[in-house]
Chain A
C-alpha cells in the first residue's frame, strides 16, 4: 500500500511540475474571438513576426455566440472580442462581460471620426468607453440583375413574381428592414416597447404572409452563396460582403441598397472583462489599422475598415463591387443599427419564432 501511495503522490507531483513548467515557458497568447475572415492567416503571420513573443489564437463566431460564450465564463477565456456596435451597451449593463478601454493606448487618430464618435456614443457607460470601431458594412438586398432587375425594396422579396425564388435570414435584420419598408422607423420605436411590440406584430403578419414566396431561410454566408450562384434563388436579403464576393464570380449578382436605406453595422474591438493579455490586444488593434494591413483585412472580410480613407484602401476587385452597388446618395441614406435596449432582443426572438413556426402563406 505504501509503495502504491508513494508512486501515486510522486506521479501527481511530477505532473504538476511538468504542466506548471510548460505554462510558464509559453509565450504570451492573444485569444481573439472574432468573425470568419477577420483574422486572415497572412495578417496573423505578419503580427507574429513583429511581436515574436505573442501567439495569436483565433475562435470564429458571430454576435450571438460571442456574447453567449463570454457570458458563460463571466468574460474570461478571450482577450479581444469583436461584437457589433449595437450589441454592447445592453449586454454590458446586464452581464458586465467587457472592461473599459484605455483609449490612450489605441491609435484613434487613424480612425474615421464619424464612425469612432458613433461607436463611442453607443458604448459609453458611466463615462467609460467599451469599444472602438474596426470594420463596417451593411445589410441589404442582393439580386441577379439578369433575372430580377426590379428588386429595390425589402418588400420586393415578397413580390409574387419571384415566388419560390427569394431568400432571407430569419434574424432581426429582416424584421427591421421590413419595418422600414412599411414606412416605419423601428429605431425610434425602441423607446416605447409597447409601441415596438405593435410594430413587430405588424411585421410578423407581413413576413408570415410572405413565407410562401420564400424558398428557404438561409443560415450562413456559404449557404446563401450556393443558393445564389446555382440560380436557385434570384434575390435575397444579404450582407454586402457576401454580395461583393459573388459579384466577382458573376457580374450579374449585385448588392442593392434598399430604397429605405441599407442597414449599417460596425464591428468593433472590445476587451472582455476576464482578458489576460490587454497589451497584446491593444497591439493587435493598432496593428490591423495600419494601411497595408487594412487592405489585406478588407480583402478577407469584404467589409470596409473604419479608418479615415477606408474606401480607398479596399482591394481593387472590391472597389468595383462597391462602385456597382452604392451611389453617394445611398451612402448618405445608410441607417446605422441603433443600440438595442434591454428586452428588445427577447421580443424580437419571440417574433422570429412565431414567423418560423407559422405554416402560413
Chain B
C-alpha cells in the first residue's frame, strides 16, 4: 500500500510542472483574455458586459483587412516554406549519408541559436539601401544607383521563411526517417517515374510530418511580431501589431483582448480548413508525427 502511494505521489509530482504550466501560463491567461474581451468600457472605471468589442471589430474594415492580410501572407509563407523545406528534409533523411546528416541538421539549427531580433537586424543589414546586397549590385555594375530591398512585403516574407523553415524541416525529417527505403525501390521496380514515386509514395508517407510542419509554421507566422515590424514598410500592418497598439498605445485592453481571441479563433479555423481540404485530421498527423 505504502509502495503504491509513493508511486502515485511520484507520478503526481512528475506531472505537476506540466499541469502548472498548462494551467498558469495557458489556461488562466486565455480565460483572462476572454473575460476582458466581453467587457465594454462605458466611462472612466466603469464597465459592463456585452459583445460591443466584437461588433467594433467587425464594423471596422481596417481591422479585418489587417487580419485577412496577415492570414494570406502567413499561408503564402507556409506554402513557400514547404517548397523550400521539403527538398531539404528529403535530402537530410534519405539522400545524405549517416555522418553528414548530423552536420546538415546542425546547420539548420544554427540560425535558431540567435534571437529573432538579431536575425531581423541581420536581414536589415543585408537588404537596406546602403546595405550589403545593394552595395554588391552596384559594385558589379548591374544597377547604377542604390536599391532599396527593405521595407516591403517581400522582405517580410523572406524574413519569416528564414525564421520558421526549421519548424518545417524537423517534422518532415522525422517522419521520412521512419520510411523504409525499400518502399521507394519497390516503386521504381514497378516502373514508377521519379515524379510518380514522389507523388504516390513519398508524399503520402510524409503527410503527417508535412501537416504538422504546416500547422506549426502557419501559427508561428501569424503570431509573429518582430519580423513584420522591423522588415515591413509603411503600408505593412501585421495583426499582432494591431493587438500591441490596442494594449499599449491606446490603453484599450478590452479591444486588444478581443483581437487576441479573434486571432486565435481565426487561425484555428484556417488550420481546421486546411485539414479538411487535405482530408487529414489531427489524430493521424500531428499526434503521430
Contacts and interface: CB of A to CB of B under 8 A. Distances in A.
Contact of B128 (A93, A230, A342): A230
B177 interface: no
A349 B6 CA distance: 58
Given A342-B44, A356-B234, A357-B66, A230 B251 contact: no
Contacts, number: 73
Given A4-B6, A216-B234, A230-B128, A64 B249 contact: yes
Nearest to B10: A4
Contacts of B151: 215-216
B44 A349 contact: no
B229 interface: yes
B282 interface: no
A266 to B, nearest CB: 20
Interface string B54-81: 0000000010011000000000000000
Interface string A95-135: 10000000000000000000000000000000000000000
Contacts of B233: 216
Contact of A68 (B45, B229, B237, B248): B248
A150 interface: no
B229 A353 contact: no
Given A4-B6, A353-B242, A232 B128 contact: yes
B244 to A, nearest CB: 10
A312 to B, nearest CB: 36
Contacts of B185: none
Nearest to A216: B151
A64 B252 CA distance: 12
B281 interface: no
A357 B6 contact: no
A273 B135 CA distance: 53
Contacts of B150: 216
Nearest to B45: A94
Contacts of B247: 68
A65 B229 contact: no
Contacts of A95: 45
A71 B251 contact: yes
Interface in A336-361: 342, 345-346, 349-350, 352-354, 356-359
Nearest to A65: B248
A345 B250 contact: yes
Given A4-B9, A71-B251, A346-B250, A353 B62 contact: yes
B242 A211 contact: no
B44 to A, nearest CB: 5
Given A216-B233, A232-B129, A342-B44, A357 B248 contact: no
Contacts of B252: 346, 349
B130 interface: yes
Interface residues of A, number: 33
Nearest to A211: B234
A283 B63 CA distance: 47
B250 A349 contact: yes
Contacts of B115: none
Nearest to B131: A230
B5 interface: yes
A232 B229 contact: no
B235 A68 contact: no
A67 B251 contact: yes
B270 to A, nearest CB: 21
Given A232-B129, A232-B130, A1 B5 contact: yes
Interface in A73-100: 91, 93-95
A91 B237 CA distance: 28
A25 B242 CA distance: 44
A217 B248 contact: no
Contacts of A215: 148, 151, 234
A4 B129 CA distance: 66
A68 B246 CA distance: 11
B229 to A, nearest CB: 7
B129 A230 contact: yes
Contacts of A358: 235
Contacts of B251: 64, 67-68, 71, 91, 94, 345-346
Contacts of B230: 219
A323 B130 CA distance: 31
Contacts of B62: 353-354, 357
A211 B235 contact: yes
Interface of B: 2, 5-6, 9, 44-45, 62, 65-66, 128-130, 148, 150-151, 229-230, 233-235, 237, 242, 245-252
Given A95-B45, A349-B252, 10 more contacts: A64-B249, A71-B251, A94-B44, A171-B249, A211-B235, A216-B150, A230-B129, A230-B130, A349-B250, A353-B237
List 9 tightest A-B contacts by C-beta distance, closest first: A349-B250, A230-B130, A357-B62, A1-B5, A216-B151, A94-B44, A64-B248, A232-B129, A64-B249
